[in-house]
Amino acid sequence: MKSAARTVELLELLAARGDRPARLQELADELGVPRSSMYALLQTLISRGWVRTDVTGSLYGIGIHALLTGTGYLDSDPRVRLVRPYLDEASEALGETLHLGRLDGRDVAYLATRESHEYLRTISRVGRRLPAHVGALGKALLAERPDEELPEGPYEALTPRTRTTRDALAADLAGTRARGYSIDREEGVTGIVGFGFALRYDTPAQDAISCSVPVARLTPGHEERIVAVMREIRAKIESAVPTGGGSVSWR
């Protein structure tokens, strides 16, 4: 069991580094593993496609099988399959960037996206992670939970507008509960406003959808239409979730 845990920790570490490959000693030091043991583990994972190395064999990164497994997760998840057509519908109606995200600890993982039809737009990708306190998706989901569950802080600031204290975030979540959706006004990405809607087919909600718009294109009228369309899409998604048996209930 210890070796299984070590393998998972290594893969998570490589994935978190993104486009920054790691050297053998770095990985051994980070995970507190003897250099020889880390080398043996890396060679096993390279042979199976979970880790890749450069032509010199001295740099290591996440391998293609991680992508294939991630794709398998999305294809097998009934909630993701259910929501995708409704993201298409919202995309057609609004022409803006749409997301489906899921709470994972203190972060939100992006499970599906639809990019804006406009030249000026926000760019995102499936697999992206953001701290829950900075984005519309995360704040919509945090608002479904009692404030007592919020970490103490201070929180990481991604922009000058990020709420970095527990009190400031709690006050914002109170507003989210009152209006029924969250607003991220350049808290996660400068120049981008997001509107988040928790999907209440689970209690507490684990998934949320959002619409992201550049500040330069957001008029009061456009904001009003975004909220109206996203509320309608949320209602359609929630009503489409089957009740009772018939599918696996993942946790």
DSSP codes, 71-110: HHHHHH-HHHHHHHHHHHHHHHHH-SEEEEEEEETTEEEE
Rounded CA gap, 239 and 233, in Å?
A: 10
Q: Is the pLDDT of residue 242 over 70?
A: yes
* Count of the separate structural domains present in the chain: 2
Last residue within a domain, chosen from 67, 87, 113 = 67
Task: From 105, 141, 103, 111, select the one nearest 128 (Cα to Cα).
Answer: 111
Nearest-5° Cα angle at 96, 91 to 101: 75
The boundaries of the domain holding residue 61 are 2-67
Indicate whether 198 belongs to any domain. Answer: yes
Residues, the chain, total?
Answer: 251
Comparing 124-133, 146-155, 198-207, which segment has the lowest mean pLDDT?
A: 124-133
Residue 30 lies in a domain: yes
Based on the domain organization, do 34 and 126 belong to the same domain?
no
Alpha carbon distances (Å) from 105 to 142, 183, 206: 11, 21, 10
Assess if residue 251 is contained within a domain: no
Pairing mode of beta strands 51-53, 59-62: antiparallel
Q: How far apart are CA 196 and CA 115, in angstroms?
A: 16
Q: pLDDT at residue 108 above 80? A: yes
Q: How far apart are CA 196 and CA 101, in angstroms?
A: 10
Q: Specify the range with the lowest mean pLDDT, choosing from 68-77, 138-147, 152-161, 225-234.
A: 68-77
Residue 173: half-sphere exposure toward Cβ, Cα within 13 Å: 25
Q: What is the pLDDT of residues 10-40, one digit of tens each?
A: 888 888 887 888 899 999 999 998 999 999 9
Burial of 203 (0-12, 13-18, 19+ CB in 10 A): exposed
Q: Which residues pair with 182 in a beta bridge?
A: 196
The pLDDT confidence band at residue 99, using thresholds 50, 70 and 90, is very high
Mean of pLDDT values over 165-183: 96
87, 88, 89, 91 alpha-carbon torsion, rounded to 10°: 80
Residue 245 lies in a domain: no
**Six-digit token string for 18:** 């993104």
Domain harbouring 235, CATH code: 3.30.450.40
CA–CA dist 228, 198 (Å, integer): 15
Question: In terms of domains, do 124 and 207 share one?
Answer: yes
Any domain includes 119? yes
In sign, the C-alpha dihedral spanning 187, 192, 198, 204 is negative
Residues β-bridged to residue 199: 207
Q: Work out the end-to-end distance of the chain between its first and last CA atoms, rounded to an integer number of angstroms.
A: 22
* 65 close to 48: Cβ distance less than 8 angstroms: yes
